[in-house]
Chains A and B, each alone.
Chain A
Amino acid sequence: MMKTIDKSGATRRGFLKGSAGGLAALGAGVNLFNINHAWSADAVYDGGVFDAGGATLNVAEWGGFWEEIVRKEMLDAFEKDFNCKIVYESSFPWFPKFVAGGPEKPPFAIANWNYGEMFKTAAAGDFFTPVDEVVENVPNAKNIWPFATATGVGITWSYTRYCYAYRTDLVDPPIKSFKDFWDEKYAGKRGTYVTSNGLQMDFFIAACALFGKDQYDLDAGYEAMKAAMPMKISDFTGNMQTLLERGEVAVAVQHDAEVYQMMDRGIKVAPYIWDEVKPILTQTKTVSKYLEPVQKKLAYALLNLTLDTKLQSVMCDKFYQRPVNKNVVVTPNLSSKGVSNTEDSTAGYWTPDWKSYNENEADIVETVNGIFAG
């Protein structure tokens, strides 16, 4: 693999792009991917601050309050230190934007995902820099738990646990198992999400695994969804919060950060964190494969800061996100809920087989939609 100084990258890229285009026009049948791969793999990053010469970095991440905090705590300083401009996109979903342009025209240099959509995008083309290559260029990746890089697609930088949220004043006795959700008394008072929401995907796969033979037992999952009807279907967690607050649902599929936030606002809710299987809702970042070297280097630098103890603590404090950096001490808002950041506490996490899910997604979406529609 060629490695050159990134300064020359831009012109080299232009040249190669031009010649690649020329070759294609001549119908020489050259594999363009290979040619582009040579220029895109140039970037090396060692953890230091560098001058990006005013380059732009396309970032995809959640909007609203999340964006405000990320900008304030990391991006504003990043732009100054690295002399670059961050272009921040928050209008989800990213998947159609990636596939519309193809791997060589990635809309974002660095994107933040939940697993389902990320794996779907990864399956649709050669979009992302392999994790091993990313880890080599991101010094802070040496300090993170092994599960954070296990996907091979992206690097998980924070996460929460899947759970049920239930109203402590409306649910008695407290929920103690995954299957309690199906209790007769919650008919019409239980909530989950549309098939496109990652929480519903995990809920469905967990139901397949726990009601059937294994996570591939889709029929058991369908039966479980049927048995849970009637229930209220929400599109996003924000809406589910309101449903819980207003008592429209008594128990809902949720992730624990959301529940802790509600608890600290004085709403009478508690989590039952799934224990039978332990899927996690991750914040995972990918670095796109075909980028100008300077952009790739910036993406590495930004990812490095994301994995740094400083930002990890901030996200822990503001959003109840659990850290992946081994050196982060969990902030009081989470430690008071019994959350810790140790080797033991991160053991046993379960990642569903997303490849299989995505292959069957068309059928799952059709069938579950049919069930939800009643």
Chain B
Amino acid sequence: MRRRGVSISEAFGGFRLWWLVLPAFLFFLAFFVVPVLSLLAISFNKTVPGVVTLTDAFTLDNFVRIFTRPLYYEAILRSIGLGVVVAAVALVLGYPLAFLIAKTEHPGRNTALMILVLASMQLDMVIRMYGLMVLMGDTGLINSALIGLHLIDEPLPLMYNAFGVVVGLVQVTLPFMVLSLVGIIRAIHPSLEEAARSLGASRGEAFRRVVLPLSMPGILAGSLLVFALSISSYVVPALMGGWKVVVLPIHIYQQIAEAGRWQFGAAVAAILFLTSLVAVFVYHRAAVLTSGGRT
């Protein structure tokens, strides 16, 4: 079998394939790896408010503080839990929407659906929050309607708590989930489903046993993306959580931008970063497993 990658290196005569990735790689090295690592490196220095310079006095104090204070270690768990819940909800809501878009053949209707999904991404978070407050606040449309119908006496606490943060994050991340899925679902050939049906599988069965497994790469990629976006979001928990849902990015922002405790903030950032890396690793293993060893 022909080795992949031959074509292009031949094509450009002596051109090495990796030259293509070189500009991106160098750019990343200079403006991502170096700045981020230098910031994370100061997490091993003693916390001195207002000091940003790296010294060689190594200490693990900041990490000890994180893992001995409930405020911080609970925030780690809260962040992870939030990411998992949001990814699950976004998947449950996003998959059918992606499926609908993938199966909409009419070009105009298809474009219209895409625009609706993309348009929602373009709403500024602060102003979006206003929209959500009008809907979900104590005096918002939902609570007013429920009270008006005498279904409840007291307004339901729909925002300024974990529920509000989940709704806000699902709102923000759902388009990413949908867009990760649409391409994959569309690539599943309809004949496969039909074949399963003709062999006597019910519609539900055909979906479960053929379509769903084949969507797995998209499901994994979308969930990972949503998880990563959720645990790294500062604005949504800050605006929707009413400061009851204190997650890692809030600690990072407060420690660095407000208290000037860069070293400690960097340590929290390092933990958050590690969490994401673990998630990427788990995703990678899962991807290998579901694709039966192929990557």
Listed in ascending order, the chain A residues whose CB lies under 8 Å from chain B are: 93, 95-96, 99-100, 120-121, 123-125, 188, 194-196, 232-233, 235, 239, 242, 246-248, 358, 361-362, 365-366, 369-370, 372-374
Q: Are A235 and B238 in contact, with the CB atoms below 8 A?
A: yes
A232 contact set on B, CB distance < 8 A: 160, 242
Q: Are A362 and B50 in contact, with the CB atoms below 8 A?
A: no
Separation in Å of the B238 CB from the closest CB of chain A?
6
Separation in Å of the B46 CB from the closest CB of chain A?
13
Interface string of B123-165 (1 = CB under 8 A from A): 0000000100110011110000000000000000000100000
B138, B243, B244 pick with most chain A CB within 10 angstroms: B243
- Does B229 make an interface contact (CB < 8 A)? no
Separation in Å of the A253 CB from the closest CB of chain B?
14
Beyond A235-B238, A366-B71, A370-B71, whether A120 also contacts B133 by CB under 8 A is: no
Q: Are B50 and A123 in contact, with the CB atoms below 8 A?
A: yes
B245 contact set on A, CB distance < 8 A: 373
Q: Which of A93, A246, A366 contacts B137 (CB 8 A)?
A: A246
- Does B239 make an interface contact (CB < 8 A)? yes
Q: Are A194 and B259 in contact, with the CB atoms below 8 A?
A: no
Beyond A125-B50, A246-B137, A366-B71, whether A96 also contacts B260 by CB under 8 A is: yes
Task: Please give me the 5 A-B residue pairs with the lowest Cβ-Cβ distance, nearest first.
Answer: A124-B50, A233-B243, A196-B258, A372-B243, A99-B50
- Complexed CA–CA distance, A373 and B258 (Å): 19
Quick one: closest A residue to B154, CB to CB? Answer: A188
- Does B254 make an interface contact (CB < 8 A)? yes
Q: How large is the interface on B (under 10, 10 to 19, 20 to 34, 35 or more residues)?
A: 20 to 34
B239 contact set on A, CB distance < 8 A: 235, 239
B242 contact set on A, CB distance < 8 A: 232-233
Quick one: closest A residue to B129, CB to CB? Answer: A239
- Complexed CA–CA distance, A71 and B243 (Å): 35
Separation in Å of the A109 CB from the closest CB of chain B?
20
- Complexed CA–CA distance, A120 and B140 (Å): 39
Quick one: closest B residue to A98, CB to CB? Answer: B50
Separation in Å of the A320 CB from the closest CB of chain B?
23
Quick one: closest A residue to B49, CB to CB? Answer: A124
- Given contacts A247-B139, A372-B244, could you give 8 more A-B pairs where the C-beta distance is less than 8 Å? A95-B260, A99-B51, A194-B238, A195-B258, A235-B239, A246-B137, A362-B261, A366-B69
- Complexed CA–CA distance, A196 and B257 (Å): 9
Q: Are B244 and A246 in contact, with the CB atoms below 8 A?
A: no
Can you identify 16 A-B contacts, CB atoms within 8 angstroms?
A: A96-B257, A120-B259, A124-B49, A124-B50, A188-B138, A196-B254, A233-B242, A247-B139, A248-B133, A248-B138, A362-B261, A365-B258, A369-B254, A373-B244, A373-B245, A374-B244
A235 contact set on B, CB distance < 8 A: 238-239
Q: Which of B49, B51, B160, B258 contacts A93 (CB 8 A)?
A: B258
Quick one: closest A residue to B138, CB to CB? Answer: A248
B160 contact set on A, CB distance < 8 A: 232-233
- Complexed CA–CA distance, A358 and B259 (Å): 8
Q: Are B259 and A362 in contact, with the CB atoms below 8 A?
A: yes
Q: Are B139 and A248 in contact, with the CB atoms below 8 A?
A: yes
B243 contact set on A, CB distance < 8 A: 194, 233, 369, 372-373
Q: Which of B133, B137, B139, B256 contacts A96 (CB 8 A)?
A: B256
B49 contact set on A, CB distance < 8 A: 120, 123-124, 358, 362
Q: Are B258 and A95 in contact, with the CB atoms below 8 A?
A: yes
- Complexed CA–CA distance, A81 and B50 (Å): 37
Interface string of B223-254 (1 = CB under 8 A from A): 00000000000000011001111100000001
Interface string of B53-90 (1 = CB under 8 A from A): 00000000000000001010000000000000000000
A373 contact set on B, CB distance < 8 A: 243-246
Separation in Å of the A164 CB from the closest CB of chain B?
19
Quick one: closest A residue to B161, CB to CB? Answer: A374
A96, A195, A239 pick with most chain B CB within 10 angstroms: A96
Q: Are A100 and B261 in contact, with the CB atoms below 8 A?
A: no
Q: Are B244 and A365 in contact, with the CB atoms below 8 A?
A: no
- Does B214 make an interface contact (CB < 8 A)? no
- Complexed CA–CA distance, A373 and B71 (Å): 10
Q: Which of B133, B257, B261 contacts A242 (CB 8 A)?
A: B133
Quick one: closest B residue to A229, CB to CB? Answer: B244
- Complexed CA–CA distance, A234 and B168 (Å): 16
